[in-house]
């Protein structure tokens, strides 16, 4: 996160690397991650019919014809087709139990934040 650079007087100094991703992009990408987790039924603090509705609504949200989905993708600076591609890969990997005992929220958010431009 920090780049080391030497100053003229031979003292070490550090400067923060500049990233093109803003806090606003992180926020909207976190919305996408939360909805992926909801669609998988992970970390939902509700039960019964409410839980089922959350999961079903989240699954239905990942649709290129959904205006809310497209708007969030736009705010996150990601193309809807790319988000759907990532979603499908996560669902497939989750079905194979590849994320068992892993912090999926952290992994997905860090992964999505590696993209600084639209995909």
Tokens matching residue 15: 């400067």
User: Model-level pTM greater than 0.85?
Assistant: no
Query: How far from chain centre, in Å, is Cα 13?
Result: 33
pLDDT tens, residue order, the chain (119 aa) = 334 444 444 444 333 344 577 889 999 999 999 999 999 988 888 888 999 999 999 999 999 999 999 999 999 999 999 999 999 999 988 776 777 767 787 888 888 887 765 54
C-alpha count within 13 angstroms, C-beta hemisphere, residue 9:
2
Among residues 2, 33, 7, which one has the least CA distance to residue 19? 2
Q: Is 73 exposed, middle or buried (0-12, 13-18, 19+ CB in 10 A)?
A: buried
- pLDDT value, residue 117: 55
């Amino acid at each position: 996160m920090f780049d080391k650079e030497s100053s003229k007087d031979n003292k070490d100094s550090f400067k923060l690397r500049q990233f093109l991703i803003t806090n606003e992009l992180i926020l909207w990408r976190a919305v996408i991650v939360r909805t992926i987790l909801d669609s998988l039924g992970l970390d939902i603090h509700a039960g019964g019919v409410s839980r089922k509705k959350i999961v079903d609504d989240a699954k239905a949200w990942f649709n290129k014809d959904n205006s809310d989905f497209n708007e969030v993708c736009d705010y996150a600076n990601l193309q809807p087709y790319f988000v759907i591609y990532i979603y499908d890969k996560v669902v497939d990997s989750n079905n194979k139990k590849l994320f068992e005992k892993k912090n999926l929220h952290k992994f997905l958010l860090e992964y999505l934040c590696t993209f600084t431009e639209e995909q």
